[in-house]
């Protein structure tokens, strides 16, 4: 892998419009729902109105006989459990013995059209015995009557408990000059991607099954289909068309994907299953509702001595990514500061609600809010500026955290300095009039999980194939999933950069498991780092073949040849050279079309304790954000006026895409802070629509100044690190701390609605705690 | 039931007569009947704007519009504003300014912007924000969409 200072680059580092942009803006990009197959049936799902019930009978006899109905499916036909993590397979395609939440899938039909399918669903009779509902995660930590799953810890509903202790937390608290305790409460939020979940499956008489699906992890879907349907993987072909957003919500293999395939196998016809928006909300797998108790200890100058964390996480009905979530809610508190002593207890608890799973900045968002608010409080106690306090505690480059995370590159201090200067912090903090304020929030995030979920660690996490043929085009094959973040563009640009060719020569082929080598998908903010390195290696291997051909054509030794624009030329005599096509066609004389391969696997890392791999990553991103808010102190309405977002993604390879990730992350973080919440009455989700679950409108979006200050990461492709998830995390505490600066109230119950602001202001007045003269 | 007369309308400038049940929604007619799949189905409830089309030049939610209500009117979809072999200035600006990420909401935004710029060729930022406030985007935070619309207005 090339390290050190790379030569100036032609494409990378600039602003590269998406290669598929023209198709998207013209409506020509093909999403799964745009695909029609001959004889295609429509699949629909019957969902449970019961939160927790034992199924006595699912009578489909009437539905099965209805004209236009081709198949009815019930849970007993495909009882093999699955789930994204191999250690927690507890989902089934359809409910088998019990329904576990309102919206759980009980039966499905395939029919000629939607209306017939709906009529058939209405004719299915389900008889159940209701069971006690478990809705509160806290009480689910104790032994309960009829736990949701038999695998709960000691007869409770605890799906996963994590206990970690590094150093001596008790001693650190005894020695502390300052301690801070915050209790954070976070409502569940959902991804709200615009493209609904949709799958098409087509079982064919040759014994194969083809599945098109809106998925961000085609490979895990591939594995899951094989396991549940008991078909070897090589007889299944998974195709990922264009995907309309994911944010983690399309990363689990989802039950409707399995059901759709099962219906196609049963009918022998193609089946499309398009979930309506309400269905999408019930499928959820969004960010976990969470309560955390965060305590820190510091010395007289505000240097951190210890963290002590207790988190209770509402998992909903299934495990999903939950074991990872449980670890992350502790270990992702570790950066970007040096914390010498650390204790964590985390419990993820099953409840009879839609399952929680992975959402952008998975596992880090909620705990980092509590950490950053506590640091703001500590700065005030100690009497230091929040920036100075953080800088004094910053993790240095090439260091190891107490739980053995390997920190290589960090430009965190540069993030702090830049955000401070650009935002005019020193003129504003505690100096703006009552109702206006600035706040600082910081973060870090993994640049790809070091732990691939399904492999032995010896197999690469990403493989890329290139093919160059007579037409002069270069095809790129890889199962990485572009879901809008721009990974296809980056892959094409890396190939074009290394080979010196125009971007238009490079064609990123659609993800198709028959031809795309495995990449484990778009999650854990891994794609730029891992796919980028694999692509670079593949392109360099192709370049080697072309340079050999250029040597044969020019007679100059390879060491004296260099890549130029669409050319290979002699370093000291640039007028001597061959075109890309001449070199390509020469190289093809040996054995036809050129091929090359590149792979990436992260190096070994992490400690030996239980759960040591959770949170380990080949690199970490860092962030320091300042938000400025304006609060209407009468109504509690507030506006985030501006966010200065200093971010370390190493070297940004496509500034246009990175800015888009930062701006979009801020939008999503603001949504969670200001108003988004999955709201329940008892077990019933009250707001399963984009009308009642409101994401921020353009009027609510602040001005954003994106400040990309990272320096080259030693192992990242061309020095790059992630920019897809980390940019979200710092948003929430920056706004929370800005509200405190504005009105002197700490808000620890998210979302912070205007009503909560008013109540906070009233409380402060009652307690007669004046703030900025009010 | 006597067969209903076909629905007569103009789609992307061309006259069309299509069989259409009374309860048919315009979005279904366009996507399922006429294969104009550039119009996206995001929510079926008029909340996301992905299904926006122009009816007589005005942005309209096709998922809330009975097809029979556009009898005799002119419907423009994303396919209708895309010149053969190229892009219109709004589309070009969306690509160049990174205003499309996952792309699913994009056709709706482009049509909304086209309608805005036809009515107000030089809108200010606030007018752009107001015009697009019926369209949801979860990827971009709207920032680059607003930039793209303003850039397209300067170019026109």
Q: Using a CB-CB distance cutoff of 8 angstroms, which residues of chain A are in contact with residue B44?
A: 276-277
Residue A100 CA to residue A45 CA, distance in Å, equals 16
Domain of B132, in residue numbers: 89-155
Residue A630 CA to residue A633 CA, distance in Å, equals 9
In a shared domain, residues B66 and B113: no
Could you tell me the maximum CA-CA distance found in chain A, to the nearest angstrom? 87
In a shared domain, residues B21 and B55: yes
Within chain B, which residues score under 50 in pLDDT? none
Reference A401, options A448, A324, A335; nearest CA is A335
Q: Using a CB-CB distance cutoff of 8 angstroms, which residues of chain A are in contact with residue B141?
A: 663-668, 701, 704
Q: Using a CB-CB distance cutoff of 8 angstroms, which residues of chain A are in contact with residue B104?
A: 31, 193-195, 244-245, 484
Chain A closest CA to B6's CA: distance in Å? 21
Residue where a domain terminates, one of B81, B113, B141:
B81
Superfamily of domain A32-131+191-283: Aldehyde oxidase/xanthine dehydrogenase, a/b hammerhead (3.90.1170.50)
How confident is residue A154, by pLDDT bands cut at 50, 70 and 90? confident
The continuous run of DSSP H or E covering B7 comes out as: strand B7-11
Residue B12 Cα distances to A265, A574, B34, B72, B104, angstroms = 40, 53, 12, 13, 20
B-chain residue closest to A216, CA distance: B102
Q: Does A673 touch chain B (CB under 8 A)?
A: no
Per-residue pLDDT at A5: 45
In a domain, B1, yes or no: no
Per-residue pLDDT at A147: 97
Q: Using a CB-CB distance cutoff of 8 angstroms, which residues of chain A are in contact with residue B37?
A: 27, 30, 33-34
Tokens of A20: 């598929």
In a shared domain, residues B42 and B106: no
Look-up: residue for tokens 């199962």? A479
* Interstrand relation of A158-166 and A271-274 (parallel, antiparallel or unpaired): unpaired
CB A167 within 8 A of CB A341: yes
In a domain, B2, yes or no: no
Q: What is the dihedral of CA A592, A598, A599, A604, to 10 degrees?
A: 140
Per-residue pLDDT at A4: 40
In a shared domain, residues B15 and B71: yes
Per-residue pLDDT at B2: 57
Residue A691 CA to residue A398 CA, distance in Å, equals 48
Q: Is A763 helix (H, G, I), strand (E, B) or coil?
A: helix
In a shared domain, residues B97 and B76: no
Q: Does A268 touch chain B (CB under 8 A)?
A: no
Q: What percent of chain A has pLDDT over 90?
A: 97
Interface test with A, best of B82, B99, B103, B152 (most A CBs within 10 A): B103
In a shared domain, residues B76 and B103: no
Residue A497 CA to residue A658 CA, distance in Å, equals 18
Q: What is the dihedral of CA A301, A302, A303, A308, to 10 degrees?
A: 150
Tens of pLDDT along A468-515? 999 999 999 999 999 999 999 999 999 999 999 999 999 999 999 999
Flag whether pLDDT at A535 surpasses 90. yes
Residue where a domain terminates, one of B44, B59, B81:
B81
Per-residue pLDDT at A6: 47
In a domain, B52, yes or no: yes
Residue A47 CA to residue A256 CA, distance in Å, equals 11
Flag whether pLDDT at A454 surpasses 80. no
Flag whether pLDDT at A312 surpasses 90. yes
* The total number of structural domains that make up chain B: 2
Does the fold of domain A361-450+610-766 match that of domain A21-29+460-600? yes
Q: Using a CB-CB distance cutoff of 8 angstroms, which residues of chain B are in contact with residue A663?
A: 140-141, 143-144
How confident is residue A758, by pLDDT bands cut at 50, 70 and 90? very high
Residue A190 CA to residue A205 CA, distance in Å, equals 39
- What are the structural domain ranges in chain A? 21-29+460-600, 32-131+191-283, 361-450+610-766
Q: Does A244 touch chain B (CB under 8 A)?
A: yes
Residue B147 Cα distances to A610, B101, B150, angstroms = 49, 14, 5
Class of domain A21-29+460-600: alpha beta
CB A606 within 8 A of CB A450: yes
Q: Span A437-456, mean pLDDT? A: 90
Between positions 89 and 118 of B, the ones with CB within 8 A of A are 90-91, 94-98, 100-107, 110
Per-residue pLDDT at A153: 81
Flag whether pLDDT at A257 surpasses 80. yes
Please, what is the average pLDDT of chain A? 97
Tens of pLDDT along A34-63? 999 999 999 999 999 999 999 999 999 999
Q: Using a CB-CB distance cutoff of 8 angstroms, which residues of chain B are in contact with residue A702?
A: none
Interface test with B, best of A192, A194, A248 (most B CBs within 10 A): A194
Q: Which fold has domain A361-450+610-766?
A: Aldehyde Oxidoreductase; domain 4 (3.30.365)
Which among A193, A242, A243 is the nearest to B138, CB-wise? A193
Tokens of B45: 């409830």
Kindly report the CATH number assigned to the domain that includes residue B99: 1.10.150.120
Kindly report the CATH number assigned to the domain that includes residue B39: 3.10.20.30
Q: Does A695 touch chain B (CB under 8 A)?
A: yes
B-chain residue closest to A691, CA distance: B47
Tokens of A428: 């504003």
Q: Does A7 touch chain B (CB under 8 A)?
A: no
In a domain, B140, yes or no: yes
């Amino acid at each position: 892998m090339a390290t050190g200072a790379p030569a100036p680059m032609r494409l990378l580092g600039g602003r590269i419009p998406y290669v598929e942009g023209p198709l998207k803006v013209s409506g020509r990009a093909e999403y799964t729902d745009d695909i029609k197959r001959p004889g295609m049936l429509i699949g629909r799902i019957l969902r449970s109105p019961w939160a927790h019930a034992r199924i006595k009978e699912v009578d489909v006899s009437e539905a099965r006989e209805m004209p236009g109905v081709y198949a009815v499916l019930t849970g007993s036909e495909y009882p093999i459990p699955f789930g994204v993590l191999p250690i927690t397979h507890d989902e089934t395609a359809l409910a088998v013995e019990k329904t576990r939440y309102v919206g759980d899938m009980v039966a499905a039909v395939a029919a000629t059209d939607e209306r017939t399918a709906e009529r058939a669903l209405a004719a299915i009779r389900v008889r159940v015995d209701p069971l006690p509902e478990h809705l509160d995660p806290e009480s689910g930590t104790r032994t309960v009557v009829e736990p949701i799953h038999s695998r709960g810890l000691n007869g409770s509903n605890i799906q996963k408990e994590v206990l970690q202790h590094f150093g001596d937390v008790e001693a650190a608290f005894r020695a502390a000059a300052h301690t801070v305790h915050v209790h954070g409460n976070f409502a569940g939020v959902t991804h709200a991607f615009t493209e609904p979940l949709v799958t098409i499956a087509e079982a064919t008489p040759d014994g194969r099954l083809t599945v098109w699906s809106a998925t961000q992890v085609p490979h895990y879907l591939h594995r899951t289909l094989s396991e549940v349907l008991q078909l070897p993987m090589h007889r299944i072909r998974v195709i990922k068309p264009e995907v309309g957003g994911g944010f983690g919500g399309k990363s689990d293999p989802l039950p409707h994907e399995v059901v759709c395939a099962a219906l196609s196998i049963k009918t022998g016809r193609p089946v499309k299953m398009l979930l309506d928006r309400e269905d999408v909300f019930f499928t959820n797998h969004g960010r976990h509702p969470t309560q955390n108790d965060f305590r820190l200890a510091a010395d007289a100058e505000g240097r951190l001595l210890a963290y002590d964390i207790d988190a209770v996480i509402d998992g909903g009905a299934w495990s999903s990514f939950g074991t990872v979530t449980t670890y992350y809610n502790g270990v992702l508190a570790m950066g970007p500061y040096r914390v010498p002593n650390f204790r964590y207890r985390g419990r993820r608890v099953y409840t009879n609600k839609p399952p929680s799973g992975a959402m952008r900045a998975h596992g880090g968002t909620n705990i980092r809010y509590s950490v950053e608010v506590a640091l703001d409080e500590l700065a005030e106690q100690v009497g230091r500026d929040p920036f100075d306090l953080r800088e004094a505690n910053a993790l240095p480059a090439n260091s190891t955290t107490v739980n053995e995370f390997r920190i290589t590159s960090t430009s965190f201090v540069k993030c702090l300095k830049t955000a401070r200067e650009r935002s005019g912090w020193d003129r504003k903090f505690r100096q703006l009039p009552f109702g206006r304020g600035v706040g600082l929030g910081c973060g870090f995030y993994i640049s790809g999980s070091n732990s691939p979920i399904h492999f032995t660690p010896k197999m690469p996490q990403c493989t890329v194939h290139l093919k160059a043929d007579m037409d002069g085009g270069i095809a790129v094959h890889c199962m990485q999933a572009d879901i809008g973040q721009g990974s296809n563009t980056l892959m094409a640009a890396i190939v074009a950069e290394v080979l010196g060719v125009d971007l238009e020569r490079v064609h990123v082929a659609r993800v198709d498991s028959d031809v795309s080598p495995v990449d484990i998908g778009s999650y854990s903010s891994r794609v730029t780092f891992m796919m980028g390195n694999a692509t670079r290696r593949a392109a360099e291997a192709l370049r080697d073949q072309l340079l050999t051909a250029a040597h044969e054509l020019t007679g100059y030794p390879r060491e004296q040849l260099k890549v130029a624009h669409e050319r290979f030329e002699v370093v000291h005599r640039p007028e001597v050279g061959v075109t890309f096509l001449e070199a390509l066609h020469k190289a093809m004389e040996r054995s036809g079309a050129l091929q090359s391969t590149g792979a990436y696997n992260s190096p070994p890392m992490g400690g030996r304790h239980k759960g040591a791999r959770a949170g380990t990553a080949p690199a970490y991103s860092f962030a320091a954000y300042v938000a400025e808010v304006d609060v209407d102190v009468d109504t509690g309405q507030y506006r985030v006026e501006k966010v200065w977002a200093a971010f370390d993604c190493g070297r940004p390879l496509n500034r246009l895409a990175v800015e888009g990730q930062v701006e979009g992350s801020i939008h999503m973080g603001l949504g969670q802070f200001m108003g988004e919440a999955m709201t329940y009455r008892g077990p019933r989700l009250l707001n399963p629509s984009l009308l009642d679950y409101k994401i921020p409108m353009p009027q609510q979006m602040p001005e954003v100044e994106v400040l990309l200050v990272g320096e080259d990461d030693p192992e990242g492709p061309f020095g790059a690190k992630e920019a897809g998830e980390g940019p979200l995390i710092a948003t929430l505490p920056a706004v929370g701390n800005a509200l405190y600066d504005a009105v002197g109230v700490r808000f620890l119950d998210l979302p912070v609605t205007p009503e909560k602001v008013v109540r906070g202001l009233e409380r402060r007045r009652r307690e007669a705690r004046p703030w900025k003269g009010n | 039931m006597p067969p209903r007369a076909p629905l007569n309308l103009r789609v992307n400038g061309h006259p069309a007569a299509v069989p259409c049940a009374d309860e048919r929604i315009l979005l279904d007619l366009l996507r399922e009947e006429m294969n104009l799949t550039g119009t996206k189905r995001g929510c079926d409830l008029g909340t996301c704007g992905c299904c926006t089309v122009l009816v007589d030049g005005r942005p309209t939610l096709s998922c809330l519009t009975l097809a029979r209500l556009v009898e005799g009117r002119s419907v423009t979809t994303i396919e209708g504003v895309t010149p053969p072999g190229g892009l219109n200035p709004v589309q070009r600006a969306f690509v160049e300014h990174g205003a499309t990420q996952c792309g699913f909401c994009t056709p709706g935004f482009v049509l909304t912007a086209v309608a805005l710029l036809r009515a107000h060729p030089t809108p200010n930022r606030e007018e752009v924000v107001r015009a697009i406030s019926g369209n949801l985007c979860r990827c971009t935070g709207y920032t680059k969409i607003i930039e793209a619309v303003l850039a397209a207005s300067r170019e026109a």
